[in-house]
Amino acid sequence: RLPRAILVTGAAGRLGTQVTNYLSKALSEGRIERLRLLDIQEMAKPHDRAEVMRASLADRGTAFAAVEGMDAVIHFAGISGEDEWEKLLPANIAACAHLWDAAVAHGTDRILFASSNHAVGMYPVSERIDHTAPPFADSRYGVAKAFTEEMARLYAHKTPLRSFCMRIGSSFPAVTATRHLKTFQSFDDLVRLVEVGLTADYRFEIVYGLSDIADGYWDNSNAFLLGYGPKDRPADFVSGTLNPHESPYQGGSMATDPLPGIT
Ligand code: 15L
């Protein structure tokens, strides 16, 4: 059973759009009662009964207004790659701090967090890790994801707010790189994982956002235990010649790229 009122942040983004489409259908079918969509960008065609907010969570007041009356939050907003601290601090760190505080203050039941494989991207490709692997970030972007995972864990212990952290691999329409054979999550499988996060019983969980890949870097048995059943295989999504993967790290080129903006 889905939570009654749901907020999606980053609803206009690549992944936010997928989840928003799924929840818009649920709204039409009466399986949820309220859907609030937040983004700093304009949304293409939101459901006519969705509550749309065009605002930034870097502003604390916005975060508190956004979660008011919401039972669950799906947090996709933020910068989706490596950047300078000047941009990552407000968008990926302050925004999360505001959102988790706001959710506690308003009695929100749970937050589903779009974490990333880059929180653990510095593990070597020869290693297979599971949900117990401590962060080993490959970038500032990954450090920001690890920060939020750890904050979510703390709040799950000290407050009633539960969190479901999805270390998403490579969620794109197609498989375009060799690395994706180990890291791909189809949009449909992402939605399946979100559904588990919205309905399962837990306090704090880390899962991998991964399609049906048995020989990848990540042992996703924790997600399976909670009810996740991915249906897609990367081989069915291959498009064109694959870009080679030469990085010795699971995070790929993000792990070997230098830190930007240090002069
Ligand atoms: C991510 O976290 C990024 O948001 C995405 O753009 C890809 O780089 C992805 O990870 C990946 O590792 O393929």
Distance 203 CA to ligand 1 centre (A): 26
Q: How far apart are CA 167 and CA 220, in angstroms?
A: 10
Minimal-distance CA residue to ligand 1 atom 11: 170
Task: Report which residue type is found at 92.
Answer: N
Q: Is 95 helix (H, G, I), strand (E, B) or coil?
A: helix
Confirm whether 202 is a catalytic residue: no
Distance 97 CA to ligand 1 centre (A): 22
Tens of pLDDT, residue by residue over 127-138, are 999 999 999 999
- Residues within 6 Å of ligand 1 by CB: 80-81, 116-118, 170, 183
Name the phi and psi angles at 198, rounded to 5.
-80, -25
Structure tokens belonging to residue 28: 């039409």
Tens of pLDDT, residue by residue over 21-30, are 999 999 999 9
- pLDDT category of residue 168 using cuts at 50, 70 and 90: very high
pLDDT the model gives residue 246:
81
Asked if pLDDT for residue 181 goes beyond 80, the answer is yes
Asked if pLDDT for residue 213 goes beyond 90, the answer is yes
Structure tokens belonging to residue 115: 């974490």
Minimal-distance CA residue to ligand 1 atom 2: 116
pLDDT the model gives residue 73:
99
Tens of pLDDT, residue by residue over 143-153, are 999 999 999 99
CB atoms within 10 A of CB 205: 22
Nearest to 122 by CA among 136, 108, 110: 136
Minimal-distance CA residue to ligand 1 atom 7: 170
Distance 188 CA to ligand 1 centre (A): 17
- pLDDT category of residue 19 using cuts at 50, 70 and 90: very high
Distance 80 CA to ligand 1 centre (A): 7
Pocket test for ligand 1, best of 170, 178, 186 (most atoms within 8 A of CB): 170
Selecting among 22, 141, 155, 249, the annotated active-site residue is 141
Structure tokens belonging to residue 135: 């962060």
Task: For residue 170, give the ligand 1 atom closest to its CA.
Answer: 13
Pocket test for ligand 1, best of 118, 210, 218 (most atoms within 8 A of CB): 118
Asked if pLDDT for residue 263 goes beyond 80, the answer is no
Task: For residue 179, give the ligand 1 atom closest to its CA.
Answer: 13
**CATH homologous superfamily for 5-256?**
NAD(P)-binding Rossmann-like Domain (3.40.50.720)
Name the phi and psi angles at 203, rounded to 5.
-110, -50
Task: For residue 254, give the ligand 1 atom closest to its CA.
Answer: 8
